[in-house]
A and B are shown apart, each in its own frame.
Chain A
Amino acid sequence: MTDLTFLPDRTALEAAGLGVRYRRGGWALRACSFRLPAGRVCALVGPNGAGKSTLLALAAGLLRPTEGRLRVLGGEAGDPGVRPRVAYLGQDRPLYPDFTVAETLRLGRELNPGHWDQAAAERLVHGGNLSLHARVGSLSGGQRTRVALALAFGKRPELLLLDEPMSDLDPLVRHETTAALMAEAAENATTVLMASHVLAELDAVCDYLLLVSDGRVRLAGEIEDLISAHRLVMGRYEDAGTPREFAAHTIVEARTTGRQLTALIRPDGPVRGHWEIAEPSLEELLLAHLRAPGAPALLTPSAEPRTPLDASPKAAA
C-alpha cells in the first residue's frame, strides 16, 4: 500500500454559512464555511463552548442548522442514505448499563444490518482485556470508551465523529486506542473528525485541522500547510507598536516582554530586519490564534468550500 489514504477530490464534510442559534438566543456557531476532504484525520480544536460538540452533532444529523448548510459525504446531514455511513461517539458515551459487552455488540449488529463488522468491534474489545460477559455498568470510564469505540468501528463508517474520545483513558489505553483508530483509518481510508483539548493527543495523529472559537472557523486545512504558512519571529525591539517591516505581512499576534518581541505572522514575501525566524509548532500556532481572537481566519485551498452557498440542495441534486 503506497497510496495515501486521503482522497483530495472527495469531500467528507462541507459547511457553507453554517449557523446554529441557542433557544435562549446567542449563537453556538455562526457563518462557518469550510471543507474536509475524505480520508483525512482531522483535529477539531477550540476552547470550551467554542461550538465543537455542536458541529459534531450537526454532522451526525442529531441537530439541524438554524442557517446555512452542512453536507456530509455528498448528502444532507442525517439523511437516511447518509446516516449508515457515519458513526458518532458523543462525549457522554451513551450505552445501556444493564447490557453485557456481548449484548451491546449484538445491538450494534442488529441496528446496522448488512454493514456490521463483528471482527473489528471484537478486536477493539479484546485488546482491552474486556470480558464479553461483563455488564457495561460495571466497567471503568476507559473500558466504557473502548466499548463505545467498538460500536463505532463495527459500523465500518466512512466518517467517524469523535467527541473527546480519549479524555478518560490512561496513557497506555490512550496509546492502544489511538493505534487501533489509526490502523482502521489506514485500512479503510476512514475520515476521522475528532474534538479534543489534549494537543499532545493530536500531534502526529491528525493531518488536518479545524480550529473553532466563538462559533467561528479560525483555521482549516492540512496541518503541514497551516504551519508552513506561519513564522514565529523573535528579536530585540524597544519602540511602541509593531515593527514597520512587518507591514507587508499579516500579524496574528505580537507580544513584547522587556526588550524582546515575539510575533506570529503570516509572511507575504521575505521578512526583513534582524529577526530570529522559526516555524511554529502546532501548539504555538493554536495558542497564538486563541490568544488573538481578532486575527483573520485562514483556510488552505483544500479547505475552501466548493459548492456555492446559494446552491439549494434541490438544485444540486
Chain B
Amino acid sequence: MVEFRIDRRSGVATYLQIVQQVKQALRLGLLAPGDKLPTAKEVVAATAINPNTVLKAYRELDREGLVEGRPGLGTFVRRSLARPGAAADSPLRAELAGWMDRARAAGLDREDVAALVASVLEDTRFDDPRGPWGGGPEAGNGRARTGNGTT
C-alpha cells in the first residue's frame, strides 16, 4: 500500500501528483504487480481531497495500462516500472555517483549540477512509445514532488 502526499501549493494538478507518485512507487518497487491501490475513500480520508480527483488519477493510470480496476474489489497494479538499470546497486548508478564526485571536485554546487543534468536530459532523445506525456515524473511539470522526496 502507498500513501499519497498532496502539495497544494506545488502548482501541479492534484490528480497528476497522484499519478506521478504511483509511477514513482512502481519505479522504486514500493508497488508491485498484483498490489492493491488504496480506495478513493481511504485516500480522501487521509488527504482531505476530492474523491473524483483520486478516481481521475486511477483512470489515467488505467488508461496507461499500469493499473486495472476490478469492479467491487478495487484497483490493482498490472505492471511494474522498476528497471534493473535504475536499481540502487546498478552499475549506472555507481557511474553517476562517481561523476557527481568529480563534479563536486570541479567546484560545482548542487544547483550547478542540477542545471547541467537537466540540460543534458533536455538534449537527449528517449524512445518512449507512449509519447512525450507518458514518461517519467518529469511529465507535465518539473516541479512535481514524488512519494519520498527523491527527484
Contact = CB atoms under 8 A, between A and B. Distances in A.
Given A182-B44, A186-B41, A5 B55 contact: yes
A185 interface: yes
A41 B75 contact: no
Contacts of A3: 55
Interface residues of B, number: 27
B55 A179 contact: no
Contact of B8 (A179, A185, A203): A203
Interface residues on A, range: 20 to 34
Interface string B62-80: 1000000101001100000
Interface stretch (A49-57, A86-94, A156-164, A204-212): A204-212
A1 interface: yes
Given A204-B6, A207-B50, A2 B62 contact: yes
Interface in A176-199: 176, 178-180, 182-183, 185-187
B56 interface: yes
A204 B13 CA distance: 9
Residue among B6, B41, B50, B56 with the highest chain A CB neighbour number at 10 A: B50
A63 B24 CA distance: 52
Nearest to B13: A224
Given A1-B39, A203-B8, A182 B51 contact: yes
Contact of A186 (B51, B58, B69): B51
A175 interface: yes
B14 interface: yes
A4 interface: yes
Interface string B38-55: 011100111111111111
A122 to B, nearest CB: 16
Name the 5 nearest CB pairs between A and B, nearest first: A186-B51, A2-B69, A182-B44, A178-B48, A179-B48
